[in-house]
Amino acid sequence: MINIAAPVIDSEERRAVNEVIESGMLAQGPKVAELEKNWAEYCGVKHALAVNSGTAAIHCALYAAGVKEGDEVITTPYSFIATINPILMLGAHPVLVDIDEETFNIDVSKIEVAITEKTKAIIPVDLYGQPCDWTELQEIAEKHNLKIVEDACQAIGAEYKGVKTGSLGDFGCFSLYATKNIMCGEGGVVTTNSDEAAAAIRSFRQHGMVAPYEYADLGYNYRMSDLHGAIAVEQLKKVEEFTKKRQENACKLNDGLAGIVGIKTPTVSDNRSHVYHQYTILLDKNIQRDQFITSLRDKGVGAGIYYPKPLHAYPHIAKLGYKIGDFPVAEDLAARVVSLPVHPKVTDEDIEIIVAAVKESING
């Protein structure tokens, strides 16, 4: 089976973990500090704060942005649930805006009409590895004095007009979950250029601590361990290599799948690069997706659906007043997306198998 995801773990990661074990410093320590320094340099920002998940990263960023109970945060209805849950965790209200059918990202042209006097921040998601339209987004945020918390969990290394994700908004949030472009099993990073925000995040990730056993506010145990940090340090060294391989694989898939009636391959918009956390095709409405995926898997090709339902279809979001029909683009695309293997372990031979399987599955 050609798996939809396959983490790359080499001798460097194993050696780094062993060194941490032998050091006896397993909790947050020098390896986490090294990761934070290197990550900030890579993204071109002043601060990078390591945490234990992408969810924690978004929660920390929203807290540092000053989001409180009763505030509104604008975001997309089409993402992983971790984009929206931290808004609720702070007692704020998620205000959803439909997506662009070409990029799967939030439709920036629809954001301004969703802004109210309660709006505090915007969370755009660089879905599948491609940034949204940042020029217009930044203009809107500046006009209305809003913070931008970039959910770049799927998009490390992607760029908009030559600027890396993580440095486009007031905050950048990354995930180091096992299936991400680089990973450490579980982990996350928050980036920012604000000294004040960085201090708030450092406190928030450690129970609200501001000095030994002095607590200024409610906080959480969101620290990253040095075991995870050691893996992430080695993975970050390979990010450009991994990105290049994903982009090469995506290009070959585009070539192989070109002209197949019934599917649409990914679109990359102007002024941005795509790092292909997922290579997502769109099926025509007359194709039965479940049958298509079953056929692919029978032919040895792993396939996934990211994501099968828009966020407002889940009960704890729907009860906020949302219903099916509110975001027709997200609802339509959620019913037709299929992701194919694109990770660095996918070989040219694998791509031939994937292309052949798609053709056979489409043609029945």
Taking each helix axis from N to C end, the angle separating 348-363 and 239-257, rounded to the nearest 10 degrees, works out to 40
Q: Name the catalytic one among 120, 180, 245, 252.
A: 180
Burial environment of residue 203 by CB neighbours within 10 A (0 to 12, 13 to 18, 19 or more): buried
Query: CB under 8 Å to 204, separation ≥6 — which residues?
Result: 59, 60, 63, 64, 217, 219, 220, 222
- Taking the alpha carbons of 253, 257, 262, 264 in that order, is the dihedral positive or negative? positive
Confirm whether 68 is a catalytic residue: no
- From the list 273, 311, 304, the residue with the least C-alpha distance to 290 is 304
Separation CA 278–CA 55 (nearest Å): 19
Burial environment of residue 163 by CB neighbours within 10 A (0 to 12, 13 to 18, 19 or more): middle
Structure tokens at 135: 């020029």
Tokens 């029945």 found at? 364
Which residues are marked as active site?
A: 180
